[in-house]
Amino acid sequence: MHKAIAILGTLVILAGCASNGVKNEVITQTNVNQISNDVDSNLWENDKRLFYGGKFRASVTKDYSIIGKTVGQIINDEDQWEKDKHQADIDSKHAKYKAISDMANVISVAPVSKRVAYTKQVKKDILYVTLQFTNKGTKPVKYIRGTIIFISSYNGDKIIPLQLQVGATNAKISLSPGYKVQNELAWVYDKNDPEYVNFKNVDMQQIQMEWIPKILVFTDNTIMTAPEIDSTLETQ
Per-run averaged pLDDT (10 residues), the chain, 236 residues: 49 53 94 95 96 96 95 97 94 89 91 86 86 93 89 80 68 81 87 85 85 91 84 42
Q: What angle do CA 144, 145, 151 make, to 5 degrees?
A: 110
> Residue 172's pLDDT is what?
60
Long-range contacts of 185-188 (CB under 8 A, 24+ apart): 185/128, 185/129, 185/130, 185/131, 186/126, 186/127, 186/128, 187/126, 187/127, 187/129, 187/162, 188/124, 188/125, 188/126, 188/127
> Residue 10's pLDDT is what?
44
Q: What angle do CA 213, 151, 108 make, to 5 degrees?
A: 30
> Residue 198's pLDDT is what?
83
Domains and CATH numbers, the chain: 2-102 (no CATH), 107-225 (2.60.40)
Q: How many Cα atoms are found within 13 Å in the side-chain-facing hemisphere of 77?
A: 19
* Cβ(185)–Cβ(164) below 8 Å: yes
**CA gap 127, 117 in Å, rounded:** 6
> Residue 49's pLDDT is what?
97
> Residue 201's pLDDT is what?
82
DSSP labels, 150-211: EEETTT--EEEEEEEEESTTSS---B-TT-EEEEEEEEEEETT-HHHHHHHHS-GGGEEEEE
> Residue 234's pLDDT is what?
41
> Residue 18's pLDDT is what?
59
**CA gap 101, 99 in Å, rounded:** 5
* Nearest residue to 206 (alpha-carbon basis) of 156, 171, 138: 156
> Residue 14's pLDDT is what?
45
Which stretches of the chain are DSSP H helices?
2-23, 32-42, 45-60, 71-106, 194-201
Collect all residues with Cβ–Cβ distance below 8 Å to 203 and sequence separation of at least 6. Answer: none
